[in-house]
Amino acid sequence: MKTMLKNIIILILTLFTIQASSQVYVTSFKVQDAYLQNGKILIKSATSTTEIKIEIGFSTYRDNSTGNPLPGSIKTKLGTQNSTGGVNYLSAEQEVSSSEFSTAPTLTKIYTVNIDKSKLANYTIDLFTMQSGFSWGIYTGKRYNYVLEPTTTTYYNVAKSAVFVKNDCPPGSDAQQYVTTIYSVPANKYSSTISQADADAKAQAEINANGQNKANAEQQCVEFGNVKTPYGSYDINYYDYIADIKWNKLSFQGENVKIELYSADQSTLIREIISSTPNIGLLKAAVVALKFTEMSARIKVTSIDSGLSYFSNTFNLSQD
């Protein structure tokens, strides 16, 4: 019984000592919501420090007769326990003095602090306080867990380019031979946090959106009359001659035309290329001549409806 009474007296004396020495104390501690994720402090992965804003409420003891704050101060800083039982302090300390209080019973301070990520040790982040005449201790009114921001990989596009030929020439004309436009997108212009393919797709989208328009603006059209003369072949003994056949669709009445290969003097039909095709002015990738057809030739286009026909100029099918 005497021992218990002695302990109570010691506790009372201790409380009086604390009250006499530590006139300023913390009443609240909060991390602003903008720096939280599901109630946890969000620590940035890409940087060594994370800036957050905290709000700390303070109060002070006052003289009973005058109502003035009793002299004293308190220091605060963030910290976390480490694996050895010690403390890793995470921010610089801040100090509040009782002289900062006027007639208001409380005082709220907002601090910007930078948390050093290297000092985190998988424990809670706490507010540590040190009142006048005392050592550092944990404010137990509020503590925060933390979560690391997911690591984000940024991908950048590789250099891309494409070749374009003018494709908006009016009927009876075509783009200049051997004239092209190259549209390029340099490496690292576009980025993506999704994938490399997504970054490259953004670069390709720019090419697709602008390449053809650039070619159409830069290149010139050349008139070819009624039927465009093919460039011809110089390895006809090895390969069939395959080429686009173009004609002026306005020169032919009706919806369909027939296309044939004739000798240069227009007297001999070499082969029928196609018996009927829409009169749109273009037959893509046509087999113009079979291999071993070594000769000079012309293309003949005939309107199926009217029978009107025109020949191209002469071109060569030869073997170098």
Q: How far apart are CA 311 and CA 174, in angstroms?
A: 17
The residue with greater pLDDT, 40 or 22, is 40
Q: In this predicted structure, what is the pLDDT of residue 102?
A: 79
Over residues 181-233, the pLDDT tens digits come to: 999 999 999 999 999 999 999 999 999 999 999 999 999 999 999 999 999 99
Q: In this predicted structure, what is the pLDDT of residue 260?
A: 98
Q: Can you read off the two tokens belonging to residue 18?
A: 């604390």
Q: How far apart are CA 241 and CA 231, in angstroms?
A: 10
Q: pLDDT tier at 22 (50, 70, 90 boundaries)?
A: low
Q: Do the Cβ atoms of 310 and 293 come closer than 8 Å?
A: no
The residue with greater pLDDT, 189 or 1, is 189
3-class DSSP state of 215: helix
Instruction: Please check the confidence at residue 269 and state whether its pLDDT lies above 90.
Output: yes
> To which CATH superfamily is domain 2-148 assigned?
Immunoglobulins (2.60.40.10)
* Of 277, 294, 297, nearest in space to 286 by CA: 277
Instruction: Please check the confidence at residue 304 and state whether its pLDDT lies above 70.
Output: yes
Q: In this predicted structure, what is the pLDDT of residue 8?
A: 33
Q: Which residues contact 30 (CB under 8 A, 6 or more apart)?
A: 54, 55, 56, 142
Q: Can you say whether residue 45 is alpha, beta or left, with left for phi > 0 and alpha for psi between -120 and 50 degrees? A: alpha
Cβ atoms within 10 Å of 22's Cβ, excluding its own: 20
The domains of the chain are located at 2-148, 155-223, 241-317
